[in-house]
Amino acid sequence: MQQWAGCLIRRLPTVDSTNREARRWTAEGAPHGAVVIAEDQTDGRGRRGRGWESTPGAGLWFSMVLRPDIPPESYAMLPLLAALAASDACAEVSPVRPAIKWPNDLIATGRKLVGILVEREGDAAVMGIGINVRQREMDFPEPLRGKAISLEMLTDAPVSIDALAHALMRQIERRMDRFDFLAEYSARCITVGSDVRVLEAGGAFCGRAEAIDAQGALLVRDAEGTLRRVLAGDVSVRGVMGYA
Ligand code: BT5
């Protein structure tokens, strides 16, 4: 049993976004490890203004408040920690261990299974994780069909959303307390060692992803041989999720 992760759990039938709720709660003093779980999100959020499709009752829509004792530059590692924790939590409750694509997409059979959104709220952070569990192909809106997948589509066996939530809390706590997961993350991340296309605010470039540094940035060798540090940006991996 974990010590602090899930010390308080706010379970809601519906909310705009569990991340927003956790941020409001953080501002009111929610403790380290407090969790918000909703059955439905009316305005589930992705990164950079994108949305997250949260089929009611069909997934784990989860946010945890973190008040970690880490230096500010280490906050960028939190999405990576979330990816490892979510991948292992899926493997605890189902036969699926999703692959990790830098920084925080979890994919299986080339489709997106999990989305992660970590946001700062004052000195704290909110770690938002969405895991598709029960959806069938037709439950996803048209643009996501063929691109999104759920645990039960992969296994054809029932998966307990509650057991998944508890596995996730344990996995987050274990890694937060040690905070030395870079080597493990690098070994398990399919982006490292792959040809990638990086889309940044200033434009796009292609190269080979060589490593991840201590701040969680992706180091990409471009066509001119220059090693470029990618902190934020959308990275496509050749051969995965539509990038030929
Ligand atoms: C993410 O953004 O993947 C972060 C999603 C985080 C969702 C969780 S749910 C609990 C917590 N509360 C929130 O409000 N958010 C967090 P990004 O990398 O920007 O990807 C967003 C894109 O993923 C969308 O533009 C769609 O293309 C795709 N997408 C949306 N919903 C999806 C789903 N259910 N399954 C797979 N892909 C989806």
Q: What is the value of pTM for the model shown? A: 0.96
Ligand 1 centroid to Cα of residue 191, in Å, is: 19
H/E stretch holding 177: helix 161-178
Which is the closest atom of ligand 1 to the Cα of 17? 14
pLDDT computed for residue 238 by the predictor: 77
- Is 117's C-beta closer than 6 angstroms to any atom of ligand 1? yes
H/E stretch holding 142: none
- Is 104's C-beta closer than 6 angstroms to any atom of ligand 1? no
Nearest CA to ligand 1 atom 19: 47
pLDDT computed for residue 16 by the predictor: 98
Amino acid at 157: A
List, run by run, the mean pLDDT of 10-residue segments along the chain (244 residues). 93 98 98 98 94 97 96 92 98 96 92 96 96 97 96 94 98 95 95 92 91 94 95 78 60
For the beta carbon of residue 207, count every other beta carbon within 10 angstroms.
21
pLDDT computed for residue 110 by the predictor: 92
Instruction: Dump the DSSP string for 188-227.
Output: HBTTTTSEEEEEETTEEEEEEEEEE-TTSPEEEEETTS-E
Nearest CA to ligand 1 atom 9: 130
Nearest CA to ligand 1 atom 28: 52
Nearest CA to ligand 1 atom 7: 130
SS3 of residue 35 by DSSP: strand
DSSP structure class, residue 45: B
Ligand 1 centroid to Cα of residue 46, in Å, is: 4
Closest alpha carbon to 213 in 196, 199, 229: 229
**Rounded-to-integer distance, Cα 172 and Cα 164, Å:** 12
What is the per-residue burial (b if ≥16 Cβ within 10 Å, else e) of 95-134? Answer: ebebbbbbbbbbbbeebbbbbbbbbebeebbbbbbbbbbb
pLDDT computed for residue 201 by the predictor: 81
- Is 17's C-beta closer than 6 angstroms to any atom of ligand 1? yes
Closest alpha carbon to 131 in 184, 174, 94: 94
- Is 112's C-beta closer than 6 angstroms to any atom of ligand 1? yes
pLDDT computed for residue 242 by the predictor: 63
Ligand 1 centroid to Cα of residue 225, in Å, is: 34
Nearest CA to ligand 1 atom 3: 115
